[in-house]
Structure 1
């Protein structure tokens, strides 16, 4: 990647600071206005840039798996065990599945036969997801998968007919209020619960504290809201949208806690985080360059620890006739 290249984090493009090392696509900020970058992830031959590289998704997968809320699994299991329940097992729709990390985390934690429907706009990532999908549930029951290219904006209750569960990871914060409303309406119309994990919460803590931490955080959060995207407001908006449809909603924290063992992920995250802040507030550039260099030096020395706050949401929509 050259000095004039761009990178992406949670879906969009931002300039890579001059002199910086290459950033994996996926590690930098928000999408272009009007573009649902989570579901349009890779070059499809129409001059669109790469949105998420499998390398970035693999890099973050262990941190994602550790961060997701285990406390939401018990109420979810209770709901899935109660009737109405499909005789042939659970049908789980994974929206914006990427390389399928959500299925690899969740399928082995649920009992019973499962059929996963993996949705993404990127056929390249769908291939990764299908090949690396889990084959057995917690009790040894069989797990099968199918893939569908699709756009969350077109998701309807008809598309979710017969679904037992809708899942997504790192999705809500790159949607608009209207798209989140449509997702909630689709789940409610299908009568299925939704487990929506790892939405950014807009809070970051780094050790040792630095005077620029707050300014970088505020600028990054503003960047996440570009083009009407929800960014750190996503979980609150989603909770309200599901509640309006009569769902019982629970929110749990799911922070990344990054230390010396996650140095590669921390480095990529830092570059994207600071790069987005500078794109939003160019007047930060001179100070941010030294800030980034200092933080990267501490990361390389094993001295930096970062908590990146996320939230997980479980929405238990009311069952409807014929719902799983």
Structure 2
């Protein structure tokens, strides 16, 4: 799974960091730093250019060994360029659907950001089944939850959102995507596997400071529902024009949920 540009990942990263639930992140960092004699291994799936690494390091996770896993060599090379001298970083180009081949051995933490809403239930089940064999903490941040609220409102906001959420459940390269159901599925699957699970909201709160991100988001939503879903091209064009006209003065809430899970033996 890939298809994301460095420009898009850089554009969204400040909003991601601001949205990331700091209570769960603090609990995770405390766990990672609990033994000064150990450098915990973190396997970050769908790592991109290393945004999770930057976020957790900024929040106090130091002396860690990072295994960055992505199927896009360009993104991995960019991650190494940014962090190769400052952190202990290992890069792994891998198909995230090949669960048995993922470098999970010895991992204290499996992390992923904005990933599992793109994944299938089968992939998550297989991943958790493998993790049950070792004491690995599970941290999944920024799972889209299906909520989008715009200010000012437009009459088609709900219809566009319904169509977009339908698109989010289509195959994104890792099977039929869970989309807005990802966090609740993770909770159920992890609890069934004996994990102690905590969940917190982590919404994007966008305003004029994130104008460029809002513009890209609006264009992306318009493109995602362009094939119909009960809306005409003229209706979508009207919605898009209205939303773009208000990016400098309007606001948007894009719902996400963070999941942190500790295995039963922790």
Give your verdict on TM over 0.5. Answer: yes
The answer to whether the 8 A contact 1:219-1:278 is kept is no
- 1:315–1:134 Cα change, 3 Å: farther
**Rounded Cα–Cα distance in structure 2 between residues aligned with 1:134 and 1:147:** 10
Q: CA deviation at 1:288?
A: 1.2
Gaps of 5+ in 1: 1-36, 42-50, 137-142
Aligned to 2:165: 221
- 1:280–1:146 Cα change, 3 Å: farther
Q: CA deviation at 1:248?
A: 0.6
Alignment of 1:41-52 (within 5 A): 41=2, 51-52=3-4
The partner residue of 1:195 within 125, 133, 139 is: 139
**Rounded Cα–Cα distance in structure 2 between residues aligned with 1:239 and 1:124:** 32
Q: CA deviation at 1:244?
A: 1.1
Please list the CA deviations of residues 161-211 of structure 1 after superposition, one character each: whole Å capped at 9, or x if unmatched.
Answer: 211111111100110100011222233322111111111110100001221
- Runs of 4+ in structure 1 off by over 6 angstroms are none
Gaps of 5+ in 2: none
Q: CA deviation at 1:272?
A: 0.6
The partner residue of 2:190 within 204, 229, 242 is: 242
TM normalised by structure 2 equals 0.92
CA RMSD of aligned residues (A): 2.0
**Rounded Cα–Cα distance in structure 1 between residues aligned with 2:160 and 2:62:** 46
The answer to whether the 8 A contact 1:259-1:305 is kept is yes
Equivalent residues, number:
262
Please list the CA deviations of residues 196-228 of structure 1 after superposition, one character each: whole Å capped at 9, or x if unmatched.
Answer: 111111010000122111100100001111242
Please list the CA deviations of residues 36-73 of structure 1 after superposition, one character each: whole Å capped at 9, or x if unmatched.
Answer: x3xxx2xxxxxxxxx11111111111111111010102
Please list the CA deviations of residues 213-264 of structure 1 after superposition, one character each: whole Å capped at 9, or x if unmatched.
Answer: 1100100001111242110011111111111110011111111111111100
